Structure 1
Amino acid sequence: MKSLDELKLIAFDLDGTLVDSAPDLALAINAMLVDLGREVFDELTVRHWVGNGAEVLIKRALSGCSTVDNTLPESLYRQARGLFEQHYCENLCIASRLYDGVAESLATFSQRNIPMAIVTNKPSLFTPGLLKQIGIADYFDVVLSGDSLARKKPDPLPLQHLLDHYQLANQQMMMVGDSKNDIQAAKAVGCRSLGLTYGYNYGEDIALSGPDFVADSLVELVELIDGSVTA
């Protein structure tokens, strides 16, 4: 088993990793589309558009597919962005929920005094409110949103920022996420990574991105740290 003895910090993605936020994102996206007089989409479709931040999500919805239409008028995007932000801010945590195993795992890490941080591509307009409303805000020492720094995942900048902030060696941090963006960022900065099999990874098997560990639940990370399972 790859040793986790030196683990000093766990960085978590948010959407698709800790929180199943797709239901409320879909509600906000569809409310935006209705306001614009455009076709709406089912939740499953919207789930496949989540993971690269609000701008890409909105542009995918306007394009009606996973491929962003770069010919969309900027004025249309700006109008759509304003509508989406309004609807989502008003409904951050209506149907969103913590994934199974998240609440007890975060509590365990906290009890063991393992520092935890959030590294998400979600805009800072939404991140603190969602963390607070869903009841996990107090677990995290640092929260980095998609617009907190000059670049977001899969760029390694947010993870490098955490290493510098905590004055850690790269192998002392683990990135936990559901998307190839999380694993690519971890690889680029040289830290460990755990890929979760659920969440929003565009229908791809997270194992294809080559994380150090693959898990079906966050509880498995507790077990890995305890040395009770092998990888």
Structure 2
Amino acid sequence: MTQLKQIKLIAFDLDGTLVDSAPDLALAINAMLVDLGRSEFSEQTIRHWVGNGAEVLIKRALSGTSVIAEDLDEALYLKAKPLFNRHYSERLCVASKLYQGVGESLAALAELNIPMAIVTNKPGLFTQPLLEQLNLARYFDVVLSGDSLARKKPDPLPLQHLVEHYQLNIDQLLMVGDSKNDIQAAKAAGCASLGLTYGYNYGEDIALSGPEFVADSLETLVELMNGSVTA
């Protein structure tokens, strides 16, 4: 690995990168399914459905598989969505917690005076409240949720929007995430990415998506940014 001297902005995914939110998502999904008279799923199963936003998560739960059923009744989804939103709002931060080293790493990056932003597929209804409840909101100047713009990851639009907002070149942005959606968005935008080996990547090795850097924790990112890790 080498240090990233040219980076002027770091974009972070949220779920699976900074926060293990799967326990509360699973609680909300299962409460929604119970309301609909349907069978519940294990937290481990639901973990593999997280990462593409609430709509996809709900539809996967209604389909009972990671592949959304082609004949899924849209009326059923429209009935399920407000149930999920209510249950998740009530359970937003019951069991969710920061991954090891996240709090310390964000504090260290803030001391380096590097602007940081959130780029998540999570709906805005939940994003800011979760950041505030976990005491993370202070670190991020810009927060882009899954419904902030016309398109979300793996589309490059959120990352392109960021560099335009900060008036930077795309090679001055680093995307940090746990999912192939994050890496694909970075590649499409033309910026570097760091893939984390934990989180929610559908059981796939994040290295297979081809990020420029792979790390087991955010502490490695701090080392890269301050130059203590070299090639």
Q: With the length of structure 1 as denominator, give the TM-score of the two structures.
A: 0.98
Q: Map 1:204-215; keep pairs closer than 5 Å.
A: 204-215=204-215
How many matched pairs? 231
For 1:34 and 1:182, the matched residues in 2 are separated by 32
CA distance in 2, matches of 1:162, 1:101: 25
Cα distance in 2 for residues equivalent to 1:63 and 1:40 = 12
Bigger relative contact order, structure 1 or 2, given CA contacts below 8 A and separation 6+?
A: 2
TM-score between the two structures when normalised by the length of structure 2 = 0.98
Match of 1:113, SS state, is: coil
1:192 aligns with 2:195: no
- The residue number in structure 1 matching 2:157 is 157
Q: How does 1:106-145 map to 2 (within 5 A)?
A: 106-145=106-145
Partner letter of residue 110 of structure 1?
Answer: A
Structure 1 residues not aligned, in runs of 5+: none
2:169 maps to 169
The answer as to 2:35 corresponding to 1:29 is no
2:12 is aligned with 1:12 = yes
User: What residue identity is the alignment partner of 2:130?
Assistant: L
Consecutive aligned runs of 4 or more in structure 1 exceeding 3 Å deviation: none
Q: Kindly indicate whether the alpha-carbon contact (under 8 Å) linking 2:121 and 2:146 is maintained by their aligned counterparts in 1.
A: yes
| Structure-to-structure mapping, 1:32-51, within 5 angstroms | 32-51=32-51
Quote the offset at 1:228 in angstroms: 2.1
Amino acid at match of 2:75: S
Structure 1 Cα separation of the partners of residues 2 and 229 of structure 2: 11
Distance in 2 between residues matched to 1:229 and 1:114, nearest whole Å: 18
Structure 1 position 70, deviation (Å)? 2.7
Quote how far apart the aligned CAs of 1:134 are: 1.0
Q: Distance in 1 between matches of 2:5 and 2:200?
A: 30
**Residue 51 (structure 1) shift:** 0.2
> Could you tell me the percent identity over the aligned residues?
75
Q: What runs of 5+ residues in structure 2 fail to find an aligned partner?
A: none
**One-letter amino acid of the structure 1 residue matched with residue 67 of structure 2:** T
Cross-structure match for 2:100: 100
